[in-house]
Chain A
Amino acid sequence: MKTIKKWGHGHFFSSRILFVFLIVFTLFEAAEVITADKKQLIFEVALKDKNPQIDKKSPNATVVHEYKFQLDSSNWFYNFVLENNIGPSPLNSLTFLIICYCGLLVTLNLNPSDFFGKDVSRPISIAALSLILFYFIERYTYRSFRSTVLETTNNEYMLVQLENSWMLWSGIGLAWIGKMMKRGYQLQKDQDLTI
């Protein structure tokens, strides 16, 4: 009830609206992915030995070909973790939902005139942890398909490395911000209790 009362008041109103919009959008997107019938896991692959991915058209222009490898999978874990041809993976949506909800909690509790008045380090740390966990789970599950791609394509194509390291760095950055917010809150509390 207190949270609902705070909703329309104070700062960060537009941020709250944005977070709610993102939560609703992600829920719809996740529902579409989960309920889809014909789902296939999708991987980015490249030709292993030759290099016709790059097609030189002129001395200063090239066409780069991208190859996608789509695979049927009945394993719930792979379907949960890896991206598919319908949209982002349910784990990706779940992580994004956690981050948006944490962001919403932070904007509800943060007051620019009393920045360290409330402890908002916990939601920030949860968001950081979920990003870091997602990075490792997705990366290592994706990599486990390296041999599958080679075998299925008769050694013709190889799996391209997943580019999700931004998640790890964002997670580390958020964890650091969470730590700073916690320290700030403790210092503010000490300051408030200094007579």
Chain B
Amino acid sequence: MPIVVNLDVMLAKRKLNLTELSLRVGITIANMSVLKSGKAKAIRFSTLEEICKVLDCQPGDLLEYMDEESYQKLMG
């Protein structure tokens, strides 16, 4: 699925780590890791809302559409 989750970029910008974010958002670190690695199939609006609230950003800052070729290149 050529939707890339730029969670690591936003975490670096906000100087937060995944554990801290998962604690503040209220979801498990395992699920947060799935989201960060791009293995997630879908994201609930409620989760997106919480992450945007904690990271003080817009959904568009976290999610990015890529064409299939660029996505395959990125994912190796």
Contacts and interface: CB of A to CB of B under 8 A. Distances in A.
Instruction: Using C-beta atoms within 8 Å of the partner chain, give the interface range for chain B.
Output: 10 to 19
Interface in A180-195: 189-190, 193-195
Contacts of A195: 27, 31-32, 34-35, 40, 42-44, 47
A193 B27 CA distance: 13
A189 B40 CA distance: 10
Chain A contact residues: helix, strand, loop or mixed:
mixed
Contacts of B15: none
Contacts of A194: 40-44
Contact of A190 (B27, B31, B42, B47): B42
Interface in A128-164: none
Interface in B43-57: 43-44, 47
Contacts of A189: 41
B24 interface: no
A171 B75 CA distance: 42
Contacts of A193: 34, 39-42
Q: Which of B31, B32, B41 has the most CB of A within 10 A?
A: B41
A190 B44 CA distance: 12
A188 to B, nearest CB: 11
A190 B42 CA distance: 8
A69 to B, nearest CB: 61
Contacts of B41: 189-190, 193-194
Interface in B1-38: 27, 31-32, 34-35
B42 to A, nearest CB: 4
Contacts of B42: 190, 193-195
Nearest to B31: A195
A31 to B, nearest CB: 50
Nearest to B28: A195
A194 B44 CA distance: 7
Nearest to A190: B41
Interface of B: 27, 31-32, 34-35, 39-44, 47
15 contacts: A189-B41, A190-B41, A193-B39, A193-B41, A194-B41, A194-B42, A194-B43, A194-B44, A195-B27, A195-B32, A195-B35, A195-B40, A195-B42, A195-B43, A195-B47
8 closest A-B pairs by CB:
A193-B41, A194-B42, A195-B35, A190-B41, A195-B40, A195-B31, A195-B43, A193-B40
